Chains A and B, each alone.
Chain A
Amino acid sequence: MSDTTERVQLQIGEPEPGVRKVDPILIADKVRRTFGGVNAVDVAHVEIPRHAITALIGPNGAGKTTFFNLLTGFDKPDAGTWSLDGKSLAGVPAYKVARRGMVRTFQLTKALNLLTVLENMRLGAGHQGGEHFLEALIPALWKKREEYITAQAMELLARFKLDTKADDYAASLSGGQRKLLEMARALMSEPELVMLDEPMAGVNPALTQSLLGHILNLKKEGMTVLFVEHDMHMVQTIADWVIVMAEGKIVAEGYPDVVMRDQAVIDAYLGAHHDTDLGSLTGQLDVAKDIGDTHLAAEIAEEIAEEEATDGKR
């Protein structure tokens, strides 16, 4: 929403990296993660506003997905604490984080292909007695709950326009439909905070509008959304708040239209990386794990060129 007059005040004071929020749902402090000497994530302080849609943007390699992984328990930080609704999540394993109400989706969609769409959805629901070993042996004990979550699933699927596909295997869906499935599945547990990792990646343009609509719906239903994205138009369209990361740190925070014009943001995207391989910037190539690999590859390329030169001379 770029209508500045109607804007809800989300922060306390001037927008700047680490600014406190009026009603934060998630607060993180001094979170650090290093890989082989490089600071992948080094966030001093950040607060995510409740009931708002926050966008986490930044160039490739800025540490956004790593930060996601740390917050949701899929990776261990070297240092740092964070809490959801005031309850600490540091050191909590990924599955418990999800149960506390903070669910996430993945950059590479993880729709479970060998399960049907409906089974995928049912898997997303919590509090299933039938998932316990002994109870599972006696269908009478879990039949009712199964009916309930099936009804809940069909409702969600209808909303995401996937209800006709309920009994198809997830493998038969298109890429965009699988993204929708992953999102719908994440909602089965009625979470508080939904973290979407690049929800637009790989989705054909026709589907982006409906996807945006779904994300706005999440806010309407009282959830908070944090998503990672590259697509600036999308960010402009639906984000209430923007956090910019670069080289592991938060370099800017604020309302979308303001942040887009911030010099630090522009630098982060364009100025600082002349010498990095263009392929790694645009994400076309696997980023070399460390400097040694790039040197090795360059060495070999040089030698091959030499050899071919001498062969050519013969």
Chain B
Amino acid sequence: MDWNFIPLAFGQIVSPLTIGYALAALGLAVHFGFTGLLNFGQAGFMAVGGYFFAITTVKFDWPLWSSLIACVVGAVLFALLLGIPTLRLRADYLSIVTIAAAEIVRYTVKTPAISKFTGGSDGINGAGRDFYAMNPIPEGQYGFGVLTYNNNQLWSIIVGWAVVLIAALLVWQLMRSPWGRVIKGIREDEDAVRSLGKNVTWYKMQSLILGGVLAALGTVLIIIPTSLQPDNYGTQTTFFLYTIVLLGGATTVFGPILGSIIFWIVLNLADGVLSILVLNHLVPITSIQQGPIRFIIVGIALMILVIFRPQGILGKKREAQFSE
């Protein structure tokens, strides 16, 4: 029996997916947990950020910093495009429009007509070129046991977690400032905050932009060590993010980060256990049937979380009264 899956699962703490999803989940917490915006298109922000970065880096040969700026600008534009018409709509309309927008992005990038730029269904590879070029770590293997990484992977891990921590600090500082106070008020009762002279719509837009930029940057951290695949940014990604956010605590800053870590570790553990069971014929399912099981787990976990512990691990119960 190959027990390697256990340390490998815990090694997920440093995987690109964990890091990227932590940032995207932090962004979603800003939208949903702090401001009360029902954004179901976070995968769309991820895709927009990823494509702006990848296209400018790989297809146009822009330097790293310019591509990053393009990525942020893309996220801001998407937020404006989404927000201007919809932020005055009711919450449930916003959820439908944001899902639709994210799917529109996904369908559009797969269009054969523009696949010269977007790579069509195959996506884009090699976005990490400039990033690795500035890697100061000497070549070699680092780590122990099954968790060894080469210098490029290590560089990704270090930079990735640094970005996550800086972002977390920024959001934390914002939320304890007067700006954060207005946002928390908006979550509870927009009209009350309006009656106090605050431009509620503009605050919601700022929140949308902030959370969207975080998601875009998170995607950059994912695609650099791996690749950009359009079908990774469908609605189930947004649903995963919601699970992560609710798991960790939607109204906290470190909840989404913790949630991402736990989410990916648990999924990998479950996958590993299932693999062993299947390979050794201990359960009557085929290896093809093993794939969907992780998603079934996530779906059931989401339901249980929201019914029995909506505040997640780090959140406070009273703050989980999601307004209607």
Contacts and interface: CB of A to CB of B under 8 A. Distances in A.
A binds B: yes
A130 B170 CA distance: 14
A124 interface: yes
Contact of B195 (A103, A115, A139): A103
B319 A119 contact: no
Interface SS of chain B: helix, strand, loop or mixed?
A: helix
B165 to A, nearest CB: 16
A186 B194 CA distance: 12
A99 interface: yes
A112 B191 contact: no
B206 interface: yes
Contacts, number: 101
Contacts of B189: 110, 112
A123 B184 CA distance: 10
Interface string B225-241: 00000000000000000
A110 B191 contact: yes
B196 A185 contact: yes
B181 A94 contact: no
Most A Cβ at <10 Å: residue of B173, B179, B200, B210:
B179
A98 B178 contact: no
Interface of A: 72, 74, 93-96, 98-99, 103-106, 110-115, 119, 122-124, 126, 128, 130-133, 135-137, 139, 142, 146, 169, 171, 185-186, 188-189
B265 to A, nearest CB: 31
Contact of B184 (A72, A105, A114, A188): A114
Contacts of A93: 194, 199
Given A106-B195, A136-B173, A169 B185 contact: no
B192 interface: yes
A237 to B, nearest CB: 26
A137 B174 contact: yes
A95 B200 contact: yes
A104 B195 contact: yes
Nearest to A99: B197
Nearest to B169: A137
B177 interface: yes
Contacts of B90: none
A137 B194 contact: no
A95 B173 CA distance: 25
Contact of B192 (A112, A139, A142, A171): A112
Nearest to B206: A133
B193 A123 contact: yes
Contacts of A133: 174, 179, 206, 210
10 contacts: A98-B195, A103-B197, A115-B188, A130-B177, A130-B179, A131-B179, A133-B179, A133-B210, A136-B173, A136-B180
Given A98-B196, A99-B197, A136 B174 contact: yes
A137 B197 contact: no
A72 B195 contact: yes
A98 B196 CA distance: 6
Given A99-B197, A111-B192, 15 more contacts: A74-B195, A93-B199, A95-B195, A95-B197, A95-B198, A112-B188, A112-B189, A115-B184, A124-B196, A126-B197, A131-B198, A136-B173, A171-B318, A186-B196, A189-B197
